[in-house]
Structure 1
Amino acid sequence: MQSRWNPFEMSNGAVALGPLVLREFDQFFRDLPVRPSGSREFAPAADIYETAEGITLQVDLPGHDARSIEVKVENDTLTLKSERKRPESPKDEGTRRLERNFGVFTRSFVLPRTVDPSRVEARYENGVLTLSLPRREETKPRVIEVKVNG
């Protein structure tokens, strides 16, 4: 018996979702985080490095205005906040596709007890926010001299 070929039918007989359904499904989830203002909330990538001197935190914030970046330390929590404005499209042309993230970004990190929150420093260069979180003096490793008698 011959059966009609279905390009979406898998070898086990189940029917896979067609490209149109997948596209609509993808679009539905892509549109979920959109807020009424049209901006989106996102969380840029962060790298954390630890050394004997302290912790370095680097966060990718390309396209953010350095004056809009807020770094706040409260108790044992470091909070970063910034906003990347939606790009303006040329007046004669409509926007066809926006893949870059824009909107308000807020991210918090719990600081370990070894960090001295009063000495946190931040700098923004080439789209990367770098925070230096120095260790408290009493938590830094120290070398103890061994005295030899005789």
Structure 2
Amino acid sequence: MKKSFLEKLTGGVLGQDKEEPRVSAEPETKDSQRGWKGADAEGQLTIDVFQTPSDIVIKSTIAGVKPDELDIAITNDMVTVRGRRDKDENISHDDYFYQECYWGPFSRSVILPVDVEADKAMASLKNGVLTIKLPKAAKLKTKKISVIHEDKE
């Protein structure tokens, strides 16, 4: 029997898969995804970093964290955000269908693309989104100077 173009291309006939796909009510997880690396592990924030003409702006979703539970440290070239997201109820591991949210301590350090004025930085939290605005440091201007000839003969 002559093979169709599709059979030549794919090596089989459509609808005649050799193996049926497995369907499971439980999500597939790798061992590394079953927990969050133990109770002592620290989660890492996801962030967006962008610039405006005058600022470097960092945004991160941190829903469920109160502003007084955040620690933000800023230097001229780095920002570190630390905090903790605590569960407000105890639910047995066996009672979960999905457990994807991270609960516990988290942090993130970012090396900034330009120097900033750390003492003028501002942070705000609105609708679960942390926004940090860091004014860019003034660029150093190069000044040319003339050389005075001091040879006295």
Distance 2:114 2:29 in 1: 43
Question: Which residue is 2:39 aligned to?
Answer: 36
Q: Displacement, 1:53?
A: 0.8
Residues 90, 120 of structure 1: alpha-carbon distance in 2 compared, 3 angstrom cutoff: same
Aligned partners of 2:42 and 2:104: how far apart in 1? 5
In the other structure, the counterpart of 1:76 is 77
For the residue of structure 2 that corresponds to 1:114, the secondary structure is coil
CA contact (8 A) 2:76 2:117 kept: no
Mark the CA change 1:51 to 1:124 in structure 2 (over 3 Å): closer, same or farther: same
1:6-85 correspondence to structure 2 within 5 Å: 7=19, 26-36=29-39, 41-74=42-75, 76-85=77-86
1:87–1:70 distance in 2 versus 1, CA, 3 Å: same
Instruction: Say if 1:43 and 1:106, in contact at 8 Å, map to a contact too.
Output: yes
Q: TM-score, normalised by structure 1?
A: 0.64
**Is the Cα contact below 8 Å between 1:58 and 1:130 reproduced in 2?**
yes
Q: Point out where structure 1 has 5 or more consecutive residues left out of the alignment.
A: 9-15, 141-150
Structure 2 counterpart SS, 1:137: coil
- 2:29 is paired with a residue whose SS is helix
Contact 2:69/2:83, CA 8 A, preserved across alignment: yes
Take 2:130 and 2:140, find their aligned partners in 1: how far apart are those partners? 26
How many percent of aligned residue pairs carry the same amino acid? 21
Paired residues, number? 123
- Largest Rg, 1 or 2: 2
Give the superposed CA RMSD: 3.2
Amino acid in structure 1 at the alignment position of 2:102:
N
Relative to the length of structure 2, the TM-score reads 0.63
Shift, 1:78, TM fit = 0.9
Q: 1:74/1:114 Cα in 2 relative to 1: closer, same or farther (>3 Å)? A: closer
- How far residue 57 of structure 1 moved from its aligned partner, in angstroms, is 0.9
Matched, 1:109 2:121: no
Task: Give, in angstroms, the shift of residue 24 of structure 1.
Answer: 9.0
